[in-house]
Amino acid sequence: MSRPPYTVTLIPGDGIGPEVMAAAVRVLTATGIAFEWETQQAGASAIGEHGTALPSQVLESVRRNKVALKGPTETPVGTGHRSVNVELRIQLDLYANLRPVQSLPGVKSRYENVDLVVVRENTEDLYSGLEHVVVPGVVESLKIITEKASTRIARFAFDYSRAHSRKKVIAVHKANIMKLSDGLFLDCCRKVAREYADVAYDEMIVDNTCMQLVLDPGRFDVLLLENLYGDIVSDLCAGFVGGLGMTPGANIGATGAVFEAVHGSAPDIAGKNLANPIALILSGALMLDHLGEKDAAERVRKAVRAVLTEGRTLTRDLGGTAGTTEITEAIAAGV
């Protein structure tokens, strides 16, 4: 007897979002897993119709379905609406940002055999958005670090490491300067680490971490970071394997999860069948993992690797001439 379909909230997003979302849906459907897709608009595309970048019905949908697949959304720089990504994470308490970074065949890079995971706390730090003008010309931003958030992200990193046979967690910090805030983060990490004798634990200052990553990313396994450091380091790590167009992302909480491509909305190529959909397709594979569909998830990853290895159906950013639909069909055919 077949199980009922999974109901998933779809947030296509802006720019190339609808195109890469259609690609991800095509590949996920090709796995044979039954889905019901509940489409919701967020980002710049939602403002005209709803007057807000994150309508309440989007949050209600994700709360109801407990899982969502999201495309890129636009965020104005220095003005305009708040980041939809940040607001989703805070409103839904999606406290863990998970970014696996793995080398893929056929993708040009200076690095080989990269296989690391970035675990980023998602709900506080400077992303709490607590800013004010002290006096004209002086702005203060408050960095919020709590024992609760630090402890649960540390436990997430160690639980993930244990479940995926990862050997070492490195907590990344700047406690030599921010002795109270980053010091609290480290205290929480150390307490959690003592509960996981089977997983090694170490600490590294964030600037040194960046240098060591560039010198040899192969020495790292699982990186555990506060929100701001995690945002920066996760994008740095994506550069080791071809960029944000090749790396999946997940935002996971106690009662729900949103899986997303973390690259930009690329409005300059929107609607031109040029976008690389691999990041969102691989995010869909992470979603399958989350749903317990491990076999289907691995089939998606194998299909992506096979197309990249063959090298005949690649988008322009990968050195080929294929469009979004062509590479999508090639991947779907191999699932």
Q: Tell me, what CATH number does 217's domain have?
A: 3.40.718.10
Catalytic entry in 143, 174, 191, 302: 174
DSSP assigned state of 5: P
Per the domain annotation, does 234 fall within a domain?
yes
User: Is position 160 annotated as part of the catalytic site?
Assistant: no
User: Is position 231 annotated as part of the catalytic site?
Assistant: yes
Predicted pLDDT at 127:
85
Catalytic entry in 66, 235, 302, 317: 235
Predicted pLDDT at 82:
64
Give the domain range for residue 174: 109-241
Element (H, E) at 153: helix 147-163
Q: Are residues 16 and 84 in the same domain?
A: yes
The pTM (predicted TM-score) of the whole model is 0.93
Q: pLDDT digits over 256-267, tens only?
A: 999 999 899 999
User: Is position 295 annotated as part of the catalytic site?
Assistant: no
- Structure token pair of residue 77: 């720089």
Q: Comparing 45-49, 68-72, 202-206, which segment has the lowest mean pLDDT?
A: 45-49
Per the domain annotation, does 281 fall within a domain?
yes
User: Is position 127 annotated as part of the catalytic site?
Assistant: yes
Q: What is the mean pLDDT of the chain?
A: 94
CB 258 within 8 A of CB 68: yes
Angle (CA) 142-171-249 rounded to 5° is 80
Where do we find the tokens 């195109």? 19
Inter-CA distances, 162 with 122, 171, 198, 203, 264, Å: 21, 16, 8, 18, 32
- Structure token pair of residue 278: 């691999």
Catalytic entry in 6, 95, 127, 229: 127
Per the domain annotation, does 104 fall within a domain?
no
